[in-house]
Amino acid sequence: FTDHASSTMKCTDSSNTAGGDVTVTSSALGDQVTVAPTVWDAAFTSGTLQAFVTDVNKVRIMYCAAGHDTAAQDRDPAAQRYRVTVWKF
């Protein structure tokens, strides 16, 4: 993941990595998304994992942790599997 600098929070997201955003067929802007790793990873115990639709069929996964938390660095989505659920209303 690529780091987004902040004094109190460091976030990384899947948009600038080799793994890229997740393809979820029929997802659209405004849909609600939930995400969870399918394999335990210590990095996810100290931060938050979020996902949101960025374009038709594309979901971005974001991990945020305190600025001093090095676990927020180098989160490669290709190295982890996720369960992504898209809720259409």
What are the pLDDT digits (tens) for 28-41?
Answer: 999 999 988 887 77
Upper half-sphere CA count for residue 65 (Cβ side, 13 Å)? 18
The pTM of this model reads: 0.71
8: burial class by Cβ within 10 Å (0-12, 13-18, 19+)? exposed
What mean pLDDT value characterizes the chain? 75
- Percent of the chain scoring above 90 in pLDDT: 25
**Can you read off the two tokens belonging to residue 49?**
């994992």
Q: How many CB atoms lie within 10 A of CB 73?
A: 14
Nearest residue to 54 via CA among 16, 82, 83, 80: 16
What whole-number distance in Å separates Cα of residue 12 and Cα of residue 20? 12
